[in-house]
Structure 1
């Protein structure tokens, strides 16, 4: 299963093991069991510290395997074959169970070890989901560090009956002690914040005690990261406060147009951004949502949802944007129960089913093309009279036999049976007739909305809610700058956001030295 290059790389990693490992496999006579056994055998051949134990037992899920170390109370299991995006999760689980220290802050490790309670996590993933590995790796790490935590990763495509029974229609979906704990990307800090009820208050107290910054950047996407690097290089006191470092890039599957990087994935790009920022003297406050911007006494204050307040001589707003919603009946009710926004993540859960894609731009057409290889049929609904996607994408789309394109279609309602989606209705804008399509999934791909609700009546926004900026990134408030997708700057691209972030930082520095 592993090619020679991958084996060579893995063998080098496994040399870091400091204690023996056992791969305990629960197998049956299926092809997937044989495939799993072959993978485990190949891994064991790469290190004399690893052995494989095969069990024909009554395990809850087959095929599956546990990673254990004799004498260690570690409960960590993969129900499925962790290849694709999850191969890194497998490698990290092997290293951490084998005694290699994790690259996590000491206070996070201490917080995990001090959790009081019994926690049994079940995480449903798809191997094509770029958001799933962070959740899997976080929970696996917690299982390694705390003997009262159990982590099981379940490939939804392999255990479809279980997915149907629990009506899981979005990944990652995490169950804790049999109840839904969360859906979507979560960092280890976010998981701990949900488990440790006192964490938010402790974090707020630490933030309130911080001295004022010369530059405070609100947002941790490409624009915010670039601004932090450029500000820190000027030798001024720099801070970043972000709801999640990486921003929307974390939800991006493939990046092929960032100059000098031929191809990468969003989560990898986001991790590289954070690593680059951390090479400088920048204070990062993650998992913090900004709620209010106030100027007084020559300072700009950013009030946070946690109750903390940060002060700065200048501020750069880089809060980015989020997926635009259709805002029709049924969308909110059936989100993650048939309504989805990430075809790469959730597409495999709709294998063999009927779905709709709303949106005829590049994102919508690319989603329809990707889904056509998984589902039985795709209906693409476009509001305008013709698709807006690039010609090459349209040609590919129209060549697919299981895709129907409907233009001049205004989505009016998403239907469901109270538990999951079972249809969608649209109005034909040419004659106002109403039509219903029976299906099992709806993927929304209609653009972005700037994250500026918290700034209304504070500074000048465009009619689309974007922050109005001049050529220097200056907003209508003195000393407050903005950059990236949240602004009126056209063309929402990563490479443009990075440049705008750098420009905003240089403008903020210029503002400071002139004060």
Structure 2
């Protein structure tokens, strides 16, 4: 039976037309069903283009695994397991890039990667349902194509469960460098360059600081920030956008079914579309930068990043977004990524057949519990209040599942562990006052968001929740600063609302500028 469906086959065949160099697929296999599927996949790819050839070498101890290699060179990337699901794009990009299709990064970044000295052997553990993993896999694959001294293998955790257990991996993506843990969670090429090239941050800061002042500088790269940037650029004024990443919380969202005009999409796809839209206009996009402070500089606003860069603008639009709220109980931080996690889609497969808890009975918590119930052994949902806050349709689905328990009026007080991983949690029954213990190996925290506004104290007015107070035009207490999205007092934290508020703030800023 074919591994690729008709649509995937047609799409891949068209993309392989971009190959410039011969590509060899070298497999290491055994007699398992996974190996048979892998071989079938590689043969299907071989049949799609004359520049692709397949052979079985059995050189790698991990089986099934395969190398995509540029013939007669040291250029190549490795996959262990079947890179389908979210990783199919990683497979396609690896084929193209090893085959000579240019990596889509700046010439400056490519040169920085070439100049990195030393031998680096990266291993990335990922799951096929993880929306954060492809960014890491694709970044390291691209770097290994540009610099042959950088080696990378992407390992599908479900196919190599024994390694997940031996290395006690509780979150993906987890990246090892030369046998030691290098990092966890989403990382970009900018992040890897910064860590491997110790002078990269200083060089980037110097380059950013030399830029002329913008008419409008947008802080934040989520839906609100992108919408604001597009709207200001369309007005013909100089626009800059500074952000850690493009997409913001959207990147951590799996299924999106309420984005009007688009019945279904996924966070990473929407984030990629946002990034593409940015580049349709003359917007100076500065990624991999987090803002540390804002202050007045004469008639301008001076924005300083955590790397020490300084940017100036006549007006600012703050779209700093939000992050997952934490429980702030003993053990939570100690066991983060050791059983405590915030991403059920990413890390759920690591807890296959095990008992887990979901903290929070709102839409996010109930959706997480429903997804996890199909993977793990048992789910216990702990809700602080005495009533569920999730939509009724979600509650009905949750209550229909046989391996789910719901505990109401439960205040989580501590995450328990053995020093290496989570073993359980304690909670207080708020009605009886009794302390109870729950034996679980995973704790998925889904209790809402906190605005990213710590650096804005004294800059603009914040409410008691530390949200930026905005008016109907996105204006703040400072006439030169506007704001939009989840970081503001806008009550509805939705993607479509964030985009609308970004447009509103941009139009408000433009209107204010022409009335000066």
Of 41, 44, 53, the match for 1:42: 44
Cα distance in 2 between the residues matched to 1:461 and 1:388 = 27
Distance 2:486 2:41 in 1: 43
Stretch of structure 1 that moved more, 293-302 or 165-174: 293-302
Question: SS of 1:158's equivalent?
Answer: helix
Cα distance in 1, alignment partners of residues 10 and 299 from structure 2: 58
SS at the partner of 1:424?
strand
- Contact 2:77 2:145 (8 Å CA) reproduced: yes
Contact 2:23 2:69 in 1 (8 A): yes
Residue 19 of structure 1: aligned partner: 21
CA drift at 1:220: 0.7
2:54 maps to 52
Alpha-carbon shift at residue 7 of structure 1 (Å): 1.2
- Residue deviations 1:342-364 (CA, integer Å, cap 9, x gap): 00000000001110000000000
Question: Which residue pairs with 1:338 in the alignment?
Answer: 339
| Structure 1 residues 245-272: Cα deviation after superposition (integer angstroms, max 9, x where no partner) | 2111111111111111221111111111
The residue number in structure 2 matching 1:453 is 454
The equivalent residue for 2:99 is: 98
With structure 1 as the length reference, what TM-score do the two structures score? Answer: 0.98
1:1-400 alignment, distance < 5 Å:
1-57=3-59, 59-400=60-401
**Contact 2:451–2:487 at 8 Å: present in 1 too?**
yes
Alpha-carbon separation, structure 1, partners of 2:58 and 2:88: 25
CA distance in 1, matches of 2:389, 2:430: 17
CA displacement at 1:333 relative to structure 2: 0.4
- Provide the secondary structure at the position in 1 that maps to 2:459: coil
Judge conservation of contact 1:75–1:149 (CA < 8 Å) in 2.
no
CA drift of 1:289 comes to 1.1
Is 1:415 aligned to 2:416, yes or no?
yes
The aligned residue for residue 431 of structure 1 is: 432
Gaps of 5+ in 2: none
Distance 2:305 2:139 in 1: 25
Q: Does 1:485 align with 2:486?
A: yes
Structure 2 counterpart SS, 1:42: helix
Q: Which secondary structure state, in structure 1, belongs to the residue aligned with residue 386 of structure 2?
A: coil
C-alpha distance in 2 between matches for 1:14 and 1:208 = 41
**Deviations 1:419-464, CA, capped at 9 Å, x for gaps:** 1100010000001100001110000000000001111122211111
DSSP-derived class of the 1:67 partner: strand
Mapped partners of 1:7, 1:459: distance in 2 = 53
Question: 2: CA distance between counterparts of 1:253 and 1:193?
Answer: 28
1:75 CA drift (Å): 3.7
Query: How many Å separate the matches in 1 of 2:495 and 2:308?
Result: 31
- What is the SS of the residue equivalent to 1:329? coil
In structure 2, distance between residues paired with 1:475 and 1:314 = 12
Distance in 2 (alpha carbons) for counterparts of 1:505 and 1:245: 18
In 2: Cα distance, 1:296 partner to 1:174 partner:
42
* TM-fit CA distance, 1:56: 3.9
Note the C-alpha offset of 1:67. Answer: 0.7
Task: Give yes or no for contact 2:76–2:98 (8 Å, CA) kept in 1.
Answer: no
The count of corresponding residues between Structure 1 and Structure 2 is 514
Shift of the alpha carbon at 1:60? 2.3
Shift of 1:55: 2.7
Verify the 8 A CA contact 1:77 1:153 in the aligned structure 2.
yes
How far, CA to CA, are the matches of 2:440 and 2:202 in structure 1? 45
C-alpha distance in 2, partners of 1:419/1:428?
Answer: 27
CA–CA distance in structure 2, aligned partners of residues 296 and 144 of structure 1:
44
**Deviation of the 1:281 alpha carbon:** 1.0
SS at match of 1:300: strand
In 1, are the aligned partners of 2:28 and 2:61 still within 8 Å (CA)? no
